[in-house]
């Protein structure tokens, strides 16, 4: 009788979420995922080794290492490999930034992100443009603490300054003009289909600015809704029905996403997130938000039926923007990442 027994190879059924950033964690489900004696399983993602942080018979947690790219995740149990499952891994597209909200995307697919700085701190470049080949060039200088970014239907970029309470209008060549003042601690901004601009004041006010005239001057400004103050910023996004969705991070781990209808009436769309920040919609009406859910941080997907799941695992995320090819630009506190998600985003311009 042999004293040796063959090691049963692990089998993987699925990986959740299907995408992750370096530093995030992917949870794999299957069979025979537990340690053999004192030998903890290890993993690879493509050709890169990855650390298994938790190992149980039917599930394991794998931390995504720096330098990993999209590829097959394989678990090894005492040398015996599992079947492969594809995991999409975000890769850096621009570094040495300081986004505090969603990046913005123009009609040509260029991505715009801020080097915001702490409040009152002037930075040498305020907004960078990242081309589709990831080449990054300065776009705007001398704009103090740019925060929210959004493109209008006429192709101009608008940026809020939380230090000045001002919204600026920026031409395709990078020329700046003042669009609206007196916006409090102006943070998140978003346009509706009619060209009205909405501005979130961190102290609790949502302003509505009527479309500009032929000279680019703002129309009438009035208070659209009032919410509780945020410790960081307000983030705004519209769905196809014209409902405005708002997050404003607080110290609560049971935070809400608010929905404001066309008449300014406010309801709670979803509650139960931690530090919810930038948002974006896909063409099917699913909402994606940078937040934590049940202790898992990343991009959370919330269906129109209000079912929430983790779509991308990652740390330090502040926002996102969908790109035209099914990919997304993910904004952290100091960089932008690019990841293929096969999601068609709701057109913003």
pLDDT tens readout for residues 204-254 = 999 999 997 777 778 899 999 999 999 888 999 999 999 999 999 887 889
**pLDDT digit string, tens, across residues 165-196:** 999 999 999 999 999 999 999 999 999 999 99
Angstrom CA distances, 54 to 9, 18, 42, 64, stand at: 17, 18, 10, 13
Report how far residue 98's alpha carbon sits from residue 96's, in angstroms, rounded to the nearest whole number: 7
- Length of the chain measured in residues: 349
Q: Which residues of the chain register pLDDT less than 70?
A: 1-7
Report how far residue 275's alpha carbon sits from residue 297's, in angstroms, rounded to the nearest whole number: 9
CA torsion sign for 160, 166, 167, 171 is: negative
pLDDT at 39: 85
pLDDT at 3: 46
pLDDT at 7: 65
Report how far residue 134's alpha carbon sits from residue 116's, in angstroms, rounded to the nearest whole number: 20
Alpha carbons within 13 angstroms on the beta-carbon side of residue 234 total 32
pLDDT at 252: 80
Alpha carbons within 13 angstroms on the beta-carbon side of residue 154 total 14
Q: Domains of the chain by range and CATH?
A: 12-89 (2.60.40.10), 92-340 (2.120.10.30)
The pTM of this model reads: 0.95
C-alpha dihedral, 114 to 115 to 118 to 121, nearest 10°: -120
């Amino acid at each position: 009788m042999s004293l040796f027994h063959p090691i049963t190879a692990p089998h993987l059924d699925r990986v959740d979420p299907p995408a992750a950033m370096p530093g995030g964690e992917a949870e794999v489900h299957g069979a025979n995922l537990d340690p053999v004696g004192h030998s903890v399983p290890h993993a690879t993602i493509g050709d890169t080794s990855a650390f298994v942080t938790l190992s149980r018979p039917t599930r394991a947690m794998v931390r995504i290492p720096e330098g990993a790219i999209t590829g097959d995740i394989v678990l090894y149990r005492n040398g015996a490999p599992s079947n492969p499952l594809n995991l999409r891994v975000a890769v850096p597209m621009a570094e040495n930034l300081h986004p505090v909200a969603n990046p913005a995307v123009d009609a040509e697919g260029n991505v715009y992100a801020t080097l915001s700085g702490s409040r009152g701190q002037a930075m040498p470049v305020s907004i960078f443009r990242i081309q589709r080949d990831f080449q990054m060039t300065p776009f705007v200088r001398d704009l103090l603490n740019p925060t929210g970014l959004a493109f209008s239907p006429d192709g101009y970029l608008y940026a809020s300054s939380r230090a000045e309470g001002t919204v600026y209008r920026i031409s395709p060549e990078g020329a700046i003009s003042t669009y609206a003042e007196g916006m409090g601690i102006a943070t998140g901004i978003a346009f509706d289909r009619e060209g009205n601009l909405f501005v979130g004041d961190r102290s609790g006010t949502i302003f509505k600015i009527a479309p500009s005239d032929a000279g680019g001057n703002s129309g009438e400004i009035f208070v659209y809704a009032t919410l509780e103050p945020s410790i960081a910023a307000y983030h705004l996004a519209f769905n196809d029905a014209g409902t405005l969705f708002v997050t404003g991070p607080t110290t609560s781990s049971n935070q809400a996403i608010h929905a404001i209808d066309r008449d300014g009436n406010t309801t709670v769309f979803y509650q139960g997130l931690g530090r919810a920040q930038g948002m974006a919609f896909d063409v099917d009406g699913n909402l994606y938000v940078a937040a934590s859910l049940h202790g898992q941080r990343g991009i959370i997907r919330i269906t129109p039926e209000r079912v929430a799941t983790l779509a991308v695992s990652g740390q330090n995320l502040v926002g996102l923007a969908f790109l035209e090819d099914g990919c997304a630009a993910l904004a952290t506190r100091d960089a932008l990442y690019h990841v293929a998600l096969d999601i068609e985003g709701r057109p913003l311009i």
